[in-house]
Amino acid sequence: MLLRHCLMALRATTSKAPICTAINPQRLTSISEKNLLQRFYSSNPPAIGVVDYDVVKKLPSEPQKLLIDVREPDELKETGQIPASINIPLGVVSQELAASDKLFKSKYGREKPKPDTEIIFHCKIGRRSLKAAEAAAALGFKNVKNYEGSWLDWAEREGLPK
């Protein structure tokens, strides 16, 4: 069903002709390009906030917020990690955020975030963390943020190896 809707949206963007779709086998409905695009793109995704070093530096004293490092475990071994962060690699971040509360707590030693929990993502420079923030927003988390400078900014300000 999703594939059918995606194909309809794609055809609508490349064609000026109305698209016919079978809502009921006995009734065909013509959907104009504008109407179709409004149906599929009308909901605005939540904005991804941006945080800086000063916000991240305060996180150890703010346990209600969650800092997630989306780098691979080998990267953390080379550089270390930001205090209070938990490591959930980008490749599994959606799966882990969708896991049960009990499983999340047993793996990460933290309560699974609620939809309104402030979640800050970081990586090495901020690109992967932005993708993770977008994935979390797609899962329904409404207060996701990206530490744009990420590890490189943190290491520079803390005098750590990059």
pLDDT, tens digit (0-9, with 9 covering 90-100), for 17-55:
444 444 444 443 444 444 434 434 445 556 899 999 999
Q: Give the model's pLDDT for residue 161.
A: 83
Q: Which range among 7-11, 58-62, 130-134 shows the weakest confidence by mean pLDDT?
A: 7-11
Q: Is 6 a catalytic residue?
A: no
DSSP of 67-90: EEE-S-HHHHHHH---TTEEE--G
- Helix H segments across 15-143? 33-41, 53-57, 73-79, 93-97, 101-108, 127-138
Burial class (CB in 10 A: 0-12, 13-18, 19+), 8: middle
pLDDT digits (tens, 9 = 90+) for 70-103: 999 999 999 999 999 999 999 999 999 999 999 9
Cα–Cα distance measured from residue 123 to residue 73, given in angstroms and rounded to the nearest whole number? 11
Cα–Cα distance measured from residue 151 to residue 159, given in angstroms and rounded to the nearest whole number? 12
Q: What are phi and psi of 72, to 5 degrees?
A: -75, 150
Cα–Cα distance measured from residue 110 to residue 96, given in angstroms and rounded to the nearest whole number? 12
Which residues does residue 21 pair with via DSSP β-bridges, in sequence order?
Answer: 29
Helix 33-41 / helix 2-14 crossing angle, nearest 10 deg:
130
Residues 50-63: b if buried by 16+ CB within 10 A, e if exposed? ebebebbeebeeee
Q: Give the model's pLDDT for residue 10.
A: 45
pLDDT digits (tens, 9 = 90+) for 101-157: 999 999 999 999 999 999 999 999 999 999 999 999 999 999 999 999 999 999 999
Of these residues, 123, 130, 135, 136, which one is catalytic? Answer: 123
